[in-house]
């Protein structure tokens, strides 16, 4: 999935006359007393269309800190071990009319095993038709597996991607899910297939939205709106985002964890 996404984003850059490409930086996790803590690869591109986009993959294993373990499904101070693998993507776009986006899928094991993830659209300048198109793709991915998924996971995204101190949502929503537990092989296969379809739906819809908007004219006022919106995005990710907290609490690579932050932002 990482390779497919990066190839498609690079293709968009070529269409815009840019030779920008992803730079891949491997990293190794360190944990005292752990001979195999894992690591990952940070993929980062700064181009003409994508002002900054990160597509990271990682597989890490070890033990949670005792004070953090109790907040993770199936872990505790007495059972702090975990394995976590996943892909994480955030794209901040040059043109304010092109929406920023986030996508993440993951598989974790503690004393339990489960999938989680989702995708959400973050437009500085929202277009109702773009929002509807993005949600239609997420709805289709959900409906292929369970007719209750979309409404449940849309509601979860609306509740999760909310900035309490601003009393605003981070963006136009999408889906967010967690703790799809794998109690047997059949459940694993079923939840893996759904998670793969979420990634495929993202790869189908988001590049189409980028191509639709990337040639739009924009004003200084549009860019100022974009930069202020990015400030809100940064606030959410630094204060509330579970993925950021998980990475920092488990000794992840700092640059990879904070790749979600925009390259430029303003606070008025």
Active site residues: 102
Report the largest interatomic distance among the alpha carbons of the chain, rounded to a whole angstrom. Answer: 57
Cross-strand partners of 42: 25
Residue 17's region, left for phi above 0, alpha for psi from -120 to 50, else beta, is left
How many whole angstroms separate alpha carbon 122 and alpha carbon 215?
A: 18
Phi then psi for 239, rounded to 5 degrees? -100, -40
Residue 104 CB neighbours (<10 A): 22
Label residues 36-68 b or e (16+ Cβ within 10 Å = b): ebbbbbbbbbbbbbbbbbbbbbbebbbbbeeeb
């Amino acid at each position: 999935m990482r390779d497919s996404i990066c190839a498609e984003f690079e293709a968009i850059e070529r269409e815009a006359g840019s030779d920008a490409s992803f730079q891949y930086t491997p990293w190794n996790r360190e944990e005292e007393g752990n001979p195999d803590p894992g690591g990952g690869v940070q993929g980062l591109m700064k181009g003409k269309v994508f002002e900054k986009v990160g597509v990271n993959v990682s597989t890490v294993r070890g033990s949670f800190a005792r004070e953090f373990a109790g907040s993770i499904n199936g872990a505790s101070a007495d059972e702090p071990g975990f394995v976590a693998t996943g892909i994480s993507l955030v794209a901040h776009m040059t043109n304010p009319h092109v929406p920023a986006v986030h996508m993440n899928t993951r598989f974790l094991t503690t004393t339990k095993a489960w999938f989680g993830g989702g995708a959400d659209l973050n437009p500085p300048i929202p277009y109702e038709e773009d929002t509807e198109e993005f949600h239609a793709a997420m709805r289709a991915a959900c409906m292929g597996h369970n007719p209750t998924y979309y409404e449940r996971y849309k509601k979860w995204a609306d509740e999760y991607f909310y900035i309490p101190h601003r009393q605003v949502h981070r963006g136009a929503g999408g889906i967010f899910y967690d703790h799809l537990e794998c109690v047997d092989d059949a459940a694993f296969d079923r939840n893996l297939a759904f998670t793969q379809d979420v990634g495929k739906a993202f790869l189908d819809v988001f590049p189409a939205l980028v191509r639709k908007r990337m040639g739009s004219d924009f004003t200084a006022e549009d860019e100022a709106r974009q930069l202020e919106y990015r400030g809100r995005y940064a606030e959410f990710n630094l204060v509330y985002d579970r993925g950021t907290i998980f990475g920092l609490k488990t000794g992840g690579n700092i640059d990879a964890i904070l790749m979600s932050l925009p390259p430029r932002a303003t606070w008025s």
